[in-house]
Structure 1
């Protein structure tokens, strides 16, 4: 492979591998793609990250209409609450992570600083979603995760199957409409799904943190190269249906990238996500021990198409006849974000240093919502925040989460 082709493909792959969270280096702390010790996979998120802090936690499984079995965690009450509030209905909140991570990323900070536990301590019934392909979601009614067909999906399927399944499950359990929180890719699948009316009867309001929708203005050198890359190469190069960042091919590939002139893997977090202001080393180290997670290579390609084309559209099969087979038209249908109900309460928080959710792209998203009811749209801009600050920032509680709490409590 020629150096120019290597750089284009490497930039594309690495950019998308990091689109939600850092997993390489932060300051003087170096990460790796080595497999974690597996304890979390054995014990589950409740046992490893929730009950040890004194919270009750329930593990649930949800089946999608296309046969995937998803893991969910429920934190139903405050820490050490006891039985004094037994029988009281609490407002459910569903929290959705992004690509190449799972629900544990919400729980890496201390109980006083991580969003799920803050919500639980404020009287909410908290549900944490995990998408297909992550460590706790590798089951299917008829497929094995070792089969290529298990990985034949992109974020279209997260929009059409995963999100509706978890919404329906939470609604059936609680019989209440649901507040939604998404970060990064979790915002994209939420926006796309809500625009198609999938959760019209079960959604109460939505909060989008560091929203990923339009991606054409990413302000990193890697992002600019990725936007011009020929996305079909990634499938050919990896030759596998599962994109596993801890796998041998991906690890070797990224090591080659780090040796390429002009690529700085020492401060890769800043190079990809922007200059995060407020992370601490212990949280980043914990992240490295638990992430990243697998996703479908097809999902990575779909994300790359979103970068390249500058539109929010369904997966492009690369040929008009293939697209017609799937959609009945030569080009993939576009998700019409302006079709989101205008009276849906929406909270959007974005950062001035975010290299992935660039300010210009967020403004495009806001333009798509320009006819939204004014009193239903709340927007927060944080000048010093970059992509990872929203989920791991040491001051995110004071700056972001308290605003989210205030937003939800006003929607009771």
Structure 2
């Protein structure tokens, strides 16, 4: 069984690589022309601002702001909301559906001041005070740094710009980084509440066979040994062209193969996602996530030997993120799905076990049996099933 699955996994990785390679020129144009604001927000009739945020470790992050809805309501002191996307996408993931179905638009039209984050390494966030993406050191980070540097910088910036504490929405990797920060009691002095869609803390029970085989073959580690610090990369473009085109493999089905059978995505939103996927991340980040799948643990990046861990952490093993340390009075909404192959139900239940002492009036848990991973940001009925309760939660806090 190993050989066929190995081929499928390589196809997927290579497909991601070739899509990224063919988009290099477009990405540079997007950054010059204003990117997400001009191509995805202003075209829908929304006011949009481009902001830049510099992290403590020197990364320059792009941040888009939707200060008002289409009605042009300029009510002062609107409550700010920061939206943080997941892995291999950027802020465009919140904008792939029509305005009455996409969360960023819905929040703006409901009187919120919406801020769209872009993780380091993605199109809008490839700047640095001293490095370029061509430098291996630029990619020397995992989601540890996203929790330690990116989120604090973004929270502080939005707070400084608005004079208010903010609501937070995370999807997938955007939930993991927030939970890690909260467990260390970071960000809380600037937070009103947090809504976590497809929450990820533990990955040990994930049901995606695709990802498990990827992890078991140590493919991310092999990429690093080859000196490939950025994922995706374009080293094997010709091979992926051959497999996807000549052999007739339908690469567009890979989203569902990886994330689970989404119930309610329109063909238009799937096409929009394909157009905006993938965005870059660090190979080290993929390795860190792979470690979590293999070990079932929630720890900082493991450097693989006690001496190197000692250099970084002053202990032989990586420090643990303890979810039970999240303060019990932090308002949290967790929304997860029964068909999600990444944010597996059993892993979410393990997270909820760690939150069992959380104040009951500060923890809202919602379960959608027919939802998979992408439904929470792209489903045609998420506006009613997920976003209406989210809006009510935000207005309560």
Retained in 1: the 8 A contact 2:71–2:109? no
Count, aligned residues: 391
Match of 2:181 among 165, 184, 193: 193
TM-score, structure 2 as length reference: 0.91
Residue 226 of structure 1, CA deviation:
3.7
Residue 215 of structure 1, CA deviation:
0.9
**Is residue 332 of structure 2 the alignment partner of residue 332 of structure 1?**
no
Distance in 2 (CA, whole Å) between partners of 1:162 and 1:313 is 18
Match of 2:263 among 277, 292, 295: 277
Retained in 2: the 8 A contact 1:9–1:229? no
**What's 2:39 paired with?**
48
TM-score, structure 1 as length reference: 0.88
**What's 2:22 paired with?**
35
**What's 1:217 paired with?**
205
Distance in 2 (CA, whole Å) between partners of 1:309 and 1:253 is 32
Distance in 2 (CA, whole Å) between partners of 1:197 and 1:234 is 35
Q: CA RMSD in A?
A: 2.7
Unaligned stretches of 5+ residues in structure 2 = none
Distance in 1 (CA, whole Å) between partners of 2:96 and 2:176 is 23
Which aligned pairs between 1:10-409 and structure 2 lie closer than 5 A? 11=9, 32=19, 35-36=22-23, 37-38=26-27, 39-43=29-33, 44-81=35-72, 85=75, 88-230=76-218, 233-236=221-224, 238-244=226-232, 247-249=233-235, 251=237, 265=251, 267-409=253-395
Retained in 1: the 8 A contact 2:148–2:181? yes
Residue 395 of structure 1, CA deviation:
0.8
- Name the one with the larger helix percent: 2
Retained in 1: the 8 A contact 2:261–2:339? yes
Distance in 2 (CA, whole Å) between partners of 1:12 and 1:217 is 23
Distance in 1 (CA, whole Å) between partners of 2:300 and 2:383 is 35
Structure 2 residue matching 1:136: 3-state secondary structure: helix
Distance in 1 (CA, whole Å) between partners of 2:236 and 2:304 is 24
Retained in 2: the 8 A contact 1:234–1:301? no
Cα deviation 1:66-115 (Å, max 9, x = unaligned): 001000011111213155x3xx1011111000111110110011111110
Cα deviation 1:295-338 (Å, max 9, x = unaligned): 11111111111111111110000011000000011110010111
User: CA 1:191–1:145 in 2, change beyond 3 Å: closer, same or farther?
Assistant: same
